[in-house]
Chain A
């Protein structure tokens, strides 16, 4: 079986990797370079504390895969499991945290509610007056997204996957069903074409004549200068959308959850820097003197009902693998890619039925 995957982000590469293990002949087409899209621009927060119950089993399975994959592909992902704290700054959001934790616990996530004073024990210099309530999960942490992509790419290549960067797919050739793609001036025969193009998925889907109405979100993010190991858990304020953590390089990496946009743009704004700095220093006042070194933006997508879009479409051989959503792409992609590889090879996979593009 020949499979063409469009997009070399975490979803495209994990699908390619597991497909290659099942014996498929895979080519991945990347319009720019590895890490150009959202997989190279996110902050690496990894937790099964997700507020969409459909995604939680995939997050739990991905945590297991993230333990195994580095040895399999011979690349250290720099995954640090120092916990994840979600904080709420309003009473309504505090109730949401409580409800989410109940559902998470039912599905096997070891998350719990913690009082603001307890957050101070997890996070030095935390200002408990800046929040109402928090939730915490120790089986979570921070991964460095770049080595995840390099490592998956390495595993793919070892298994014979060809990754063509700087190669945009110009045409998806369909005669009855998928016949292949035209990219870089050449025709590449394929039995299956997978659209794992993230924020570009709607446009790619158009090339197959399939309507896809994923939301496109733009998210801004920044890093400070490096400091010695200081901040263990990843912190996400669900009320303000502000999140921050310390990277393996010692920088404090933080941002504000994405907002829907009509057009893809990766401009940086001062408005973001100011909003982020204000809330981050309310949460941890000691960060005030730390200097921001650089800021950037990324774009990603989310299914219009909030869930990923993964599975076969009405065009025979054309597969969606996109819409992974806010704060969830890096954590669900390994397990989602593995299940998708099984779907493609076997033609059926009940584990993915909730994400089928045919639900719309």
Chain B
């Protein structure tokens, strides 16, 4: 049933069940889990899902959130259209 699906990452349409499945497949650290599921790499760049992912990883692996850490944050903080970028940063 649709109402039983717990969406964790809205950008990539990932459910909690899918995250748990990936952890059980062996993608049980944050960097691998991120790459295997796509979580935190969508339009929101993890703003909506990173904390949920860390919670699920913590529950499944017994590691504390501090041990799990966070993913590398990549620029830009918010999406920027290419035409805006193409106007800036000239240094050569």
Contact = CB atoms under 8 A, between A and B. Distances in A.
Interface stretch (B49-57, B59-67, B71-79): B71-79
Contacts of B38: 249
Contacts, number: 88
Contacts of A292: 76, 79-82, 85
A237 to B, nearest CB: 15
Contact of A273 (B35, B36, B43, B89): B89
Given A268-B75, A294-B74, A295-B76, A35 B35 contact: yes
A288 B43 contact: no
Contacts of A275: 89
B15 interface: no
B29 A270 contact: no
B4 interface: no
Nearest to B29: A33
Given A33-B29, A249-B38, A290 B89 contact: no
Contacts of B76: 273, 292-295
A287 B82 contact: yes
Interface size class of A (residues with CB under 8 A): 20 to 34
Interface string A278-296: 1011000001111111111
B41 interface: yes
A146 interface: yes
B27 to A, nearest CB: 9
B86 A33 contact: no
29 contacts: A32-B31, A34-B32, A35-B32, A40-B35, A146-B35, A150-B36, A225-B79, A268-B75, A270-B75, A270-B88, A271-B91, A271-B92, A273-B76, A273-B80, A273-B85, A274-B87, A274-B89, A274-B90, A277-B85, A277-B86, A281-B82, A281-B83, A288-B81, A289-B81, A289-B82, A289-B83, A292-B82, A293-B79, A296-B74
Interface of B: 29, 31-32, 35-36, 38, 41-43, 45, 72, 74-76, 79-92
Interface of A: 32-36, 40, 146, 150, 224-225, 249, 268-271, 273-278, 280-281, 287-296
